[in-house]
Amino acid sequence: MFRTTRAARSGMGAIVLILVSLILPAASATGKAPTTSRKEAPTPPNILFILVDDMGWHDWSGGGSRFYRTPNLDALAAEGMVFENAYASAAVCSPSRASLLTGLTPARLHLTDYIPGEGTPAESRFRVPEFNQQLPDVRTLARDLDEVGYRTAIIGKWHLGGKGSLPTDHGFDWSLAAGPQGHPGSYFWPYGKPGSPGQVPDLAAQGGGPGEYLTDRLTEEAIKYLHDAATHHQDRPFFLELSHYAVHAPLQATEADLAAVKDWTPADGQDNRTYAAMIHALDRSVGKLTATLKELHLDRNTVVVFMSDNGGLDLPNETGSALATSNAPMRAGKGFAYEGGLRVPLIFVEPGHIPAHGHNDTPVYGVDLTPTLLQLAGIKPQDDLDGRSVVPLLHGDSMAKRDMGWNYPHYWDDQLVTPWVVYRQGDLKLIHFNEDDHYEMYDLANDPTEQFNLVHAHPHEAERMKQAMAHWLEQQHAQTPIPRQPPVAGSAPSAKP
């Protein structure tokens, strides 16, 4: 593994960029396939990755919402490609984020729940396995980009470990507001009780004042970074991850944003105005960022990716209204094995390389982000990644569908969610609920809302899928729930919303 100092890497990175520009044409001349399908000279693009927390698959007007209004996000999508069947690598945040940065599944990383997780309930058939409480020391997207000369930075949520496993320990040159916590103590300055674990690090110490809103502050810090890149580092591409804490709880919004959404009409179970106001603030962030890229003439050589880390929190409050959002007509939400927990918005934009107004319905998932961005940067992805580059799809070509898997050997929210495994092969999706050892199988092409369980109607197909799921778990060296000895009598079955 690369072990030089960061200062040495910066100098070596510049040399590597020059070597890459010389080697790529030579590789083509020898008949070997180049590592990138970019159509112009191999000038590595900048990368701006906007990652949102807990945003559902259609929590934006371009994704089908009739409640939320997101003109800036819609405009961004119109400039590139929207993936209609995009999935997170996990239904909760930490494992999803680990997978995005490594190209490895949470099952392989043994990081399968949000950190630190909720442990084992007293009344359950299983004990949960011990899982990694920080991102393991593996290759990361940031590290690979750093080593070929990229400036790498993250602003916002990290949630992949504390001291010893912070972003700068995993390939990022610089980070801000990126600590071990999974959500802010408050969205208003100083972003939580001073000194409390939930307070967002760095920001309070760097100034601010009453009424300052976290989503806006993170956006302004990202804009400062873009200005610095355009002014002082034109010779080096950047990878900037803006990792918003929004729209994760606590649900809090400014009075101005609440006023902006007061006339929006609830629809399809989406009716929480505070959540809507947070979506409005996120949309404003996207607009400011894209405007800055154009102002600084960075837009023509910058890949912009917009994605959520898992499905929206689709649970009712005590009155029956949405606690956060609704993923209808998709079933359930964050934490669950159903489509509402795994489906997310995903947009790729790169003017001149990715055609505008693109839509693609090929199933892709978070594990694909690292190999895709590496290829767009002119770097050959490692062969042992679980993800695959979707660059052919971005350039209008087709790719064969492939099998996809998810493993969640944990309990969440007092057994509202119990351990499950999901395996998708073609249009068939098999779910195994460990707690009561039952299976469900759905044909997503004809039943995307997962209403008709086909396990008993098609037993031979179900058995084939069970064997494929077992083989996948074995290949991944996946952890599974540990049976209690003896099992607790009268255990609660898995929740099936």
DSSP notation for 32-90: PPPS---SSS--PPEEEEEEESS--TT-SGGGT-SS---HHHHHHHHTSEEETTEE-SS
pLDDT band with cut points at 50, 70 and 90 for residue 20: very low
Lowest mean pLDDT among 28-32, 327-331, 487-491: 28-32
Tell whether the model's pLDDT for residue 67 goes beyond 60. yes
Q: What does the pLDDT look like over 80-128, one tens digit per residue? A: 999 999 999 999 999 999 999 999 999 999 999 999 999 898 889 999 9
| Residue of 58, 110, 159, 183 marked catalytic | 159
pLDDT (0 to 100) of residue 496 = 52
**Percent of the chain clearing pLDDT 90 (strictly above):** 82
Mean pLDDT computed over 35-41: 39
pLDDT band with cut points at 50, 70 and 90 for residue 42: low
Tell whether the model's pLDDT for residue 341 goes beyond 60. yes
Question: Cα(259)–Cα(240) distance, rounded to whole angstroms?
Answer: 32
CB atoms under 10 Å from CB of 256, counted, come to 12
pLDDT (0 to 100) of residue 491 = 52
pLDDT band with cut points at 50, 70 and 90 for residue 23: very low
* Closest to 414 (Cα-Cα) out of 125, 126, 119, 183: 119
* Closest to 242 (Cα-Cα) out of 46, 95, 375: 46
**Percent of the chain clearing pLDDT 70 (strictly above):** 89
| Residue of 93, 110, 183, 244 marked catalytic | 93
pLDDT band with cut points at 50, 70 and 90 for residue 196: confident
pLDDT (0 to 100) of residue 486 = 65
Q: How many CA atoms lie within 13 A of 419 on its CB side?
A: 23
pLDDT (0 to 100) of residue 12 = 41
Q: What does the pLDDT look like over 242-267, one tens digit per residue? A: 999 999 999 999 999 999 999 999 99
DSSP notation for 348-374: EE-TTTS-TTEEE-S-EEGGGHHHHHH
Bridge partners of 155, per DSSP, are 176, 242
Mean pLDDT computed over 25-45: 45
Q: Is 297 annotated as catalytic?
A: no
Domains and CATH numbers, the chain: 43-402 (3.40.720.10), 405-483 (3.30.1120.10)
Give this prediction's pTM. Answer: 0.90
Tell whether the model's pLDDT for residue 79 goes beyond 90. yes
Question: Cα(42)–Cα(58) distance, rounded to whole angstroms?
Answer: 36
Q: Which residues contact 374 (CB under 8 A, 6 or more apart)?
A: 141, 144, 145, 380, 381, 389
pLDDT (0 to 100) of residue 298 = 97
pLDDT band with cut points at 50, 70 and 90 for residue 204: confident
Beta pairing, strands 86-87 & 358-360: unpaired
pLDDT (0 to 100) of residue 497 = 59
Q: Is 93 annotated as catalytic?
A: yes
